Structure 1
Amino acid sequence: MSSLFKSHKKKNVVNVFSVASGHLYERFLSIMMLSVKKSTKSDVKFWLIENFLSPSFMEFIPHLAKEYGFEYEFVTYKWPHWLRAQTEKQRTIWGYKILFLDVLFPLDLDRVIFVDADQVVRTDLQELVDMDLQGAVYGYTPFCDDRSEMDGFRFWKHGYWQNHLAGLPYHISALYVVDLVRFRQVAAGDRIRQQYQMLSADPNSLANLDQDLPNNMQHSLPIFSLPQEWLWCETWCSDESLKKAKTIDLCNNPLTKEPKLERAKRILPEWEGLDNEVAAVAKQLKESGKTKEGGEKRHTAKEGKKVEKDEL
């Protein structure tokens, strides 16, 4: 039976969605998924945007899911012809993180958590499922403000952003929780796409599309600010705050330009163990000569009454 016609609403299931492109980020994604599963007591279901995944990764996921006991579903959505497209793949990926939250998932899904592929989770994500967002459609973590050496890179502290935010924090998009019920009630998806269409007419706007767009809309579509410990990044956060961090993101450092793989091994004691576990499943799969087991699950999002298919 198609996933379009069955209920996805289950008690005590943490729904996580993510997106990745390229073998390195698929490697990161596997590790993130294991960290979520190992840290969360509830059942976990991952929603992965199919448009950018390699065939080999899509073949691997069923085996990883079977080994560690999580559910998964690939979701796909065609970028609407009437919505201004992006010409760079990375910016297209950013668009999928924010522009289609109301249509990517089945209507009976109440809440979903986005977790970046290059992130390790150290806490039970059920906390975000249960958190009171105080009427906001989503919750993001503000950027840390700890390291003075990064002051020159805090673009939101001056110029346009300082004036526009008017004291509101600028949030990071590596992790956020979405109240899909509230999101749809206030037509947030339409409002976000409308704002995107207007701002993207200027090629110099939305430099960080997935972050700039929700931050720009805070006055009309408020963001609930998650406690700081929900997102730790070495670039912006102090060494002292790492011990309280609930998730660690391998965000870029414009000063050091250290490769993410090196940073992961340096700052995350658990990373190598998780990486080895993923590699062991991959090795076992390769040695067994198995192929896809029953095909992968898919959810194809609807736009109106027309079922849209993968365009990319």
Structure 2
Amino acid sequence: MQADPIQETLNNYKPKRQVVADDETSQDRQVNQNLNFTSSDFIDEKQFVNKHSEMPLKNFYRYIINEEPNFYEESKNGWPQNTGLFESIPTSPLFTLGMITPDNWLVESVSTPYDLDNIHLDEVEDIGIFADFELEHLLLEGHCFEQSTGNPPRGLQFILNTNSSLNYDKNQLNQKNKIQDTIVMANLGYFQLKADPGVWNLNLRPGRSNDIYSIVNHENTDPSSTNENVVFIISNFLSNVIKVRVSKKPDKINDQVLFDDDDDSQNSIWSSISSWTNSMGNNHENTMNQLNEAQKDSERLNIFSVASGHLYERLLRIMMLSVLKNTKTPVKFWFLKNYLSPTFKNILPLMAEKYNFDYELVQYKWPRWLHQQTEKQRTIWGYKILFLDVLFPLDVKKIIFVDADQVVRTDLKELKDFDLGGAPYGYTPFCDSRKDMDGFRFWKHGYWASHLQGRKYHISALYVVDLVKFRRIAAGDRLRGQYQGLSQDPNSLSNLDQDLPNNMIHQVSIKSLPQEWLWCETWCDDKSKKKAKTIDLCNNPKTKEPKLTAAKRILPEWQGYDDEIRQFIEKFNYNKTKNINENEESIEKINSNDNKIENEESIHTEL
């Protein structure tokens, strides 16, 4: 009798148990919850949640992606296509709203009347909170190494252009579809540049980079590329990471792009002009334009600041006004665009017209290889210190950082001209004069007392950076390297933007500014206030007084500045700008909501 093959198979079958561990409370599981995978697909399913002293879920995620193309303007429920809808979430907590995007995407909020940093769902209308985001740029990322050694060519400068010509007009820097420039980090030879769909050309920047090096090889580029002109095409939304190898020219073997010497900044300007004009030929008009532009750059005050949320944008506008009221020097403000609200970005050009200042919004995407911060505010702190060498165009020689919650009482040109004594940056030390705060001066004992070895611990609310020196000594690379090691410990770098430069004081020196450059009531006694050149509204760990309350009490001029800005906003003419969807009620809401959120602020607390 022939054996039944099916029965034989069943007799020989040994059941196997496939075990899948899936932490439903992890961030990765939340992010991937929309994938076509459910635990109900399994037989003999068991679910359990380990006990937690505090549930780790503090975030809610929604994918904004369609399974298939849809060419209708609105979906069936009336919402626009590509919409993430949050329903049935708690209404009492204070929420923030942000986007998690691919590493090569630069996305910004373009329309919302709400403060996305301070969302109180129990105080909004039934329709809820809504915000529109837009993909602004796609990044070109790359790694560059020397052909002979395999080491990154520290400080090598690239330019990105839509034109294959090597002509370099710095007036076109950062204009859409024009020239972008950056330097190569010593960290993995990394560089990034903003781009858009289309054909792009990457070249060595005229000057020392082009004089010393030449491109000898490149990968992941267009076949039409040559060593003199690297061509690549952005035709999709995926990451564009190229590899470039360079080699020193035979007569430049011993030369370095970065060198640490004592030449004065004026000589540096004329050397740069010489390199630019040589690359452009003997064009008298171009030469004169470059000379005039260099002269303007040397006289201009470059002020950098960051802000996120309507409260801090309100404080930022007052800081700007205090700078402009106290200086006769032309001013250019630089703001980190990543976290600014649409309202602030729309008001900014009208403020520039009224108060006669220049401004530029700068962006940088946190590199994928650098340890990521999970909290928004700590990420902003990182941008204050980690990317100073690559955040600004290379022709910016010196920049002054001023915190948004600061009021300036003097001409900052004095700080621009301050002799840093060879240091790449200057900070103000914390005050010691208010003795009743001694118990909160953590830098006086323990690790910090041992590490500083008698040096001062400096506050990060105001500092001046010599970007030429900063880049020459690769200060940015050193800071990022130290950050990468320290940030793995969650208990390290409590005040990231402050602790990191103080921790690196032995490798990247700090010039201590005179104490009057920054007065803070928390740490400085009342007697020293009359000499203060800037006043910072740093938080008080004793009283925890809200910032707006403290501002009106400490600064007699603050209310006048606030009233002037408020009147300007009330006269805001929406017909002068394009793509503004907010109405005047939303502008009024900014100022009314500030008083509600000031008690729940999470912006930088200086201990």
Fold shared per TM-score above 0.5: yes
Q: Determine if contact 1:59/1:291 at 8 Å carries over to the other structure.
A: no
Determine whether 1:190 maps to 2:477.
Answer: yes
1:88 matched residue in structure 2: 375
Q: In the aligned structure 2, how far is the partner of 1:223 from the partner of 1:43?
A: 27
Q: Determine if contact 1:62/1:293 at 8 Å carries over to the other structure.
A: no
Q: In the aligned structure 1, how far is the partner of 2:548 from the partner of 2:173?
A: 36
Determine whether 1:3 maps to 2:193.
Answer: no
Q: In the aligned structure 2, how far is the partner of 1:98 from the partner of 1:253?
A: 23
2:514 matched residue in structure 1: 227
Q: In the aligned structure 1, how far is the partner of 2:577 from the partner of 2:314?
A: 19
Q: Which protein is bigger by CA-based radius of gyration?
A: 2
2:552 matched residue in structure 1: 265
Q: Which one of the candidate residues 323, 337, 342 is aligned to 1:55?
A: 342
Determine whether 1:154 maps to 2:441.
Answer: yes
Per the normalisation by structure 1, the TM-score is: 0.91
What are the Cα deviations for residues 230-276 of structure 1, in whole angstroms up to 9, with x where unaligned?
00000000101110000000000000000000000001011011111
Determine whether 1:125 maps to 2:412.
Answer: yes
- Superposed, 1:225-264 pairs within 5 Å as 225-264=512-551
SS at match of 2:396: coil
Q: Which one of the candidate residues 575, 579, 590 is aligned to 1:290?
A: 575
Determine whether 1:116 maps to 2:403.
Answer: yes
SS at match of 2:320: helix
The CA deviation at 1:3 is 2.8
The CA deviation at 1:11 is 3.3
The CA deviation at 1:220 is 1.0
The CA deviation at 1:172 is 0.2
SS at match of 1:176: strand
The CA deviation at 1:152 is 1.1
Q: In the aligned structure 2, how far is the partner of 1:170 from the partner of 1:196?
A: 18
Determine whether 1:105 maps to 2:392.
Answer: yes
Q: In the aligned structure 2, how far is the partner of 1:53 from the partner of 1:282?
A: 17
Q: In the aligned structure 2, how far is the partner of 1:146 from the partner of 1:98?
A: 27
1:73 matched residue in structure 2: 360
Determine whether 1:173 maps to 2:460.
Answer: yes
1:36 matched residue in structure 2: 323
SS at match of 1:117: coil
What are the Cα deviations for residues 183-210 of structure 1, in whole angstroms up to 9, with x where unaligned?
0000000000000001001110000000
Distance change in 2, residues 1:81/1:275 (3 Å):
same
Distance change in 2, residues 1:124/1:293 (3 Å):
farther
The structure whose RCO (Cα within 8 Å, separation 6+) is larger is 1
Determine whether 1:24 maps to 2:311.
Answer: yes
What letter corresponds to residue 574 of structure 2 in structure 1? G
Cα RMSD over matched residues? 1.6
What letter corresponds to residue 173 of structure 2 in structure 1? S
Runs of 4+ in structure 1 deviating by more than 2 angstroms, as ranges, are: 1-9, 288-295
The CA deviation at 1:293 is 6.3
The CA deviation at 1:291 is 4.8
Gap runs ≥5 in structure 1? 296-312
What letter corresponds to residue 292 of structure 1 in structure 2? T
Q: In the aligned structure 2, how far is the partner of 1:263 from the partner of 1:231?
A: 16
Q: In the aligned structure 1, how far is the partner of 2:172 from the partner of 2:533?
A: 36
Distance change in 2, residues 1:294/1:89 (3 Å):
closer
Determine whether 1:45 maps to 2:332.
Answer: yes
Q: In the aligned structure 2, how far is the partner of 1:126 from the partner of 1:293?
A: 35
What are the Cα deviations for residues 81-113 of structure 1, in whole angstroms up to 9, with x where unaligned?
010010001100100000000000010110000
What are the Cα deviations for residues 134-192 of structure 1, in whole angstroms up to 9, with x where unaligned?
00000000000011211111110000000000001000000000000000000000000
What letter corresponds to residue 239 of structure 1 in structure 2? D
What letter corresponds to residue 138 of structure 1 in structure 2? Y
Determine whether 1:201 maps to 2:488.
Answer: yes
Give the length in aligned residue pairs: 293
Per the normalisation by structure 2, the TM-score is: 0.47
What letter corresponds to residue 110 of structure 1 in structure 2? K
Distance change in 2, residues 1:294/1:138 (3 Å):
farther
Distance change in 2, residues 1:125/1:293 (3 Å):
farther
SS at match of 1:135: coil
Q: Determine if contact 1:64/1:278 at 8 Å carries over to the other structure.
A: no
Distance change in 2, residues 1:88/1:291 (3 Å):
farther
SS at match of 1:90: helix
2:274 matched residue in structure 1: none
Q: In the aligned structure 1, how far is the partner of 2:349 from the partner of 2:473?
A: 36
SS at match of 2:334: strand
